[in-house]
């Protein structure tokens, strides 16, 4: 059974969740909270494609990471670590976006 994050050869990401005892992966759509990394994601309600960048959802603007993580060696810790730390496609909450906009605790643009 194939479940979890799936990357198409074109670079598009999807999430397949377990479908009861049939051991089939079901395409997730809409909001998704990943219990492993504790981040929120938004998967297109039509296609299930993971959204990135600025997205208007229910008349509010949200920002999702556009940068894919790379494994790099950290000389200070002596370990391989992911940079940036934030997962690809994850929603920003209570922080500034890379283009310097403030995001609130619900993940939406402040002043939206």
Per-residue pLDDT of 5-55, as tens digits, reads: 888 888 889 898 877 666 567 889 999 999 988 999 999 999 999 999 999
- pLDDT, mean over the chain: 87
Q: Is residue 106 part of a domain?
A: no
- Report the domain count for the chain: 1
- Is 24 inside a domain boundary? yes
CA neighbours closer than 13 Å in the CB half-sphere of residue 46:
1
- Range of 34's domain? 4-83
* 64 part of a folded domain: yes
**How far is residue 29's CA from residue 40's CA, in Å, rounded to a whole number?**
13
């Amino acid at each position: 059974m194939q479940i979890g994050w799936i990357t198409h050869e074109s670079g598009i990401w999807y999430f397949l969740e377990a479908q009861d005892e049939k051991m089939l992966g079901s395409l997730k759509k809409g909001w998704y909270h990943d219990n492993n990394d504790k981040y929120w994601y938004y998967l297109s309600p039509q296609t299930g494609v993971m959204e990135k960048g600025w997205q208007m959802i229910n008349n509010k603007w949200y920002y999702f990471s556009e940068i894919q993580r790379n494994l790099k060696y950290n000389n200070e810790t002596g370990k391989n670590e992911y940079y940036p730390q934030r997962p690809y496609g994850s929603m920003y909450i209570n922080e500034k976006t890379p283009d310097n906009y403030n995001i609130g605790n619900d993940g939406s643009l402040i002043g939206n």
